[in-house]
Amino acid sequence: MATVVELKQALKEALEKRGVLGQIRANIRAEVFHALDDQSEPRPPLSRENLLINELVREYLEYNKYKYTASVLTAVLRIVGKFLFQKLASLKCPWIDSFLSKS
């Protein structure tokens, strides 16, 4: 019969193999950040530029398969869903307009 230590090790290995352990760790980190976030002091509204930068960082993380880091970033920044191209095109920002005209 397996010992408790052996069962723990087998469970850890199975979760790591399936990629679940990293996801659980990322979820715990996100929840810790959320719990520590001081809701009594509201954050300043994000500028359009910062919103775009945050989304670019999130997309970079996802593109490079840093999905756990991206999930923590998403939770911390409260970014929901993908940034729509139509929203990007509607922003009145010279450097965004310049970038979009080159594509």
* % of the chain at pLDDT higher than 70: 70
Confidence of residue 80 (pLDDT cuts 50, 70, 90): very low
pTM of this prediction? 0.47
Q: Is 89 helix (H, G, I), strand (E, B) or coil?
A: helix
Q: What pLDDT was estimated at residue 84?
A: 44
Q: Is 93 helix (H, G, I), strand (E, B) or coil?
A: coil
Structural domain count, the chain: 1
Q: Evaluate if residue 78 carries a pLDDT over 80.
A: no
50: containing domain: 4-102
Q: What pLDDT was estimated at residue 54?
A: 85
Residues in contact with 30: Cβ distance below 8 Å, sequence separation at least 6, in sequence order: 71, 72, 74, 75, 76
